[in-house]
Amino acid sequence: VRPADTAQVAAVVRACSAARVALVPQGGNTGLVGGSVPLAGEVVLSLRRLDALGEVDLRAGQVTVGAGATLAGVQSHVRPHGLAVGVDLAPRDSCTIGGMVATNAGGINVVRHGTMRRQVAGVEAVLGDGSVVSHLAGLTKDNTGYDLAGLLTGSEGTLGIVTAVRLTLAPLPTYRVTVVLGFSDLASAIDATAHLRLTVPDLEAAEVMFADGVEMVAEHAGAAIPDALRASVSLLVEVAGRSDPLEQVAGALASLPASAPLAGEPAVAATPEQRDRLWLFRERHSEAINALGPPVKLDVSLPANEMAAFVDALPAVLPASARLSLFGHLGDGNLHVNVSGVLSTALSPDELASAEVVEEAVLRAVVDHGGSISAEHGIGTAKARYLHLCRSPEEIAAFRAIKRALDPGAILNPGVLLPPD
């Protein structure tokens, strides 16, 4: 069903509730964990027609948009006013704001602006019984009851269907500088990132790459490796804002802590062309990895104090024939773990069983180091069976109670996020 507005969404939910038929809400279908895939004949409810873009509220620095508006559509809508959505993602042309809220999307700029939950100043949503809750005034201070907007954000369509969102916008930067720093080990890069977060207010990204990944991309993309990217561990830093970027960066580099010694000269890029030459190595990692054959892909986060130990421990839990590729958002403690050589394009039952063993071994290592088994991709159906690894029985019981409270008929996105009872 493709309803056109909130009232029609509510009518669909009420009809499904009365008929005891389950629903799967869909936005731009860019999710990575199966959270919007119908599995057992559920009604698929697309939010794409709810794509209204409200007037930009310049005094509040906010805008109200329909759940079906694409991220790119909203970015274009607010840019002329010197504003931006603080969370930006590669699939911006197809991913929708409603989907980004439902999955609490993150991405590269979380170190600066937080995840989607921080951009959400209010939502309108249809709960599992068909009732509509709407709280879109976007007040910065509003202590009148439970934070339904924050609760619905990241609930993966299991508590309610978000139909409209009031977004807090960020100032559009007027300058942008990219810096690459080389280190001889991950621990140094982690300490440098902590230092940058304290000293560079305009820090917008802190991405980590490893020498083998950089070489893989260079080969795959036919690009020469800049000197600054030849260290064991490279940190790609983006600084973006409205005043004095090079001074900020120079000040921070001059005061790097002793625990974060640089390996070689840093690269600083201030023109779009120079920046592209550096970002290419980070951005084409996934593509280069996929060229090795289908990887086992996991998206995890680790406490800063444990990440280096986790990376050291990882090879021991993998089969000897596996090839490990790591990269990610160091500023948020978010690593993308890719294991090649386990799956081929044949995807035989044996291979799939081995992949599951690898997946569980990596996720157990994550939990052993105090991390999260899903940094930003969510739980969906793909990871529901692993939820117990990082959430206690008491927490899962609280999740179930909240789910029953807001979706008493259990018709919203069954099988997603919570494992079967």
Q: Which of residues 216-245 bind a second copy (CB under 8 A)?
A: 241-244
Tell whether residue 262 is a contact of a second copy (CB under 8 A).
no
**Spatial distance between the Cα atoms of 130 and 9, rounded to a whole number of angstroms:** 8
Tell whether residue 410 is a contact of a second copy (CB under 8 A).
no
Cβ neighbours of 106 (radius 10 Å)? 24
Q: Which stretch binds a second copy (CB under 8 A): 44-52, 192-200, 228-236, 336-344?
A: 192-200
For the bound state, the minimum distance from the C-beta of residue 349 to a second copy, rounded and expressed in Å, comes to: 28
Q: Which stretch binds a second copy (CB under 8 A): 84-92, 187-195, 226-234, 352-360?
A: 187-195
Strands 203-210 and 170-171: unpaired
Q: Which amino acid is at 42?
A: E
**Closest residue by Cα to residue 411 from 98, 103, 151, 126:** 126
**Spatial distance between the Cα atoms of 180 and 209, rounded to a whole number of angstroms:** 10
Considering only residues 294 through 313, tell me which ones interact with a second copy, judged by CB under 8 A.
301-305
**Spatial distance between the Cα atoms of 25 and 102, rounded to a whole number of angstroms:** 10
For the bound state, the minimum distance from the C-beta of residue 135 to a second copy, rounded and expressed in Å, comes to: 7
Q: Which of 188, 334, 340, 413 touches a second copy by CB under 8 A?
A: 334
Q: Which stretch binds a second copy (CB under 8 A): 18-26, 38-46, 311-319, 374-382?
A: 374-382
Tell whether residue 421 is a contact of a second copy (CB under 8 A).
no
Tell whether residue 153 is a contact of a second copy (CB under 8 A).
yes
Q: Which amino acid is at 165?
A: V
**Spatial distance between the Cα atoms of 393 and 334, rounded to a whole number of angstroms:** 25
C-beta of residue 186 within 8 angstroms of C-beta of residue 257: no
Tell whether residue 332 is a contact of a second copy (CB under 8 A).
yes
Query: Which helix (DSSP H) or strand (DSSP E) does residue 327 occupy?
Result: strand 323-329
Tell whether residue 254 is a contact of a second copy (CB under 8 A).
no
Q: Which of 12, 13, 127, 337 touches a second copy by CB under 8 A?
A: 127
123 by DSSP, 3-state: which?
Answer: strand
365 HSE (CA, 13 A, CB side): 21
Q: Which stretch binds a second copy (CB under 8 A): 21-29, 36-44, 328-336, 339-347?
A: 328-336
Tell whether residue 197 is a contact of a second copy (CB under 8 A).
yes
Q: Which stretch binds a second copy (CB under 8 A): 71-79, 133-141, 287-295, 346-354?
A: 133-141
Residue placing its CB nearer to a second copy in the complex, 111 or 229: 111
**Spatial distance between the Cα atoms of 96 and 29, rounded to a whole number of angstroms:** 9
Tell whether residue 65 is a contact of a second copy (CB under 8 A).
no
Tell whether residue 251 is a contact of a second copy (CB under 8 A).
yes
Tell whether residue 86 is a contact of a second copy (CB under 8 A).
no
Tell whether residue 378 is a contact of a second copy (CB under 8 A).
yes
Tell whether residue 27 is a contact of a second copy (CB under 8 A).
no
C-beta of residue 58 within 8 angstroms of C-beta of residue 171: no
Query: Which helix (DSSP H) or strand (DSSP E) does residue 209 occupy?
Result: strand 203-210
Q: Which of 4, 171, 246, 385 touches a second copy by CB under 8 A?
A: 171
Number of residues located near a second copy, criterion CB under 8 A: 92
115 by DSSP, 3-state: which?
Answer: coil
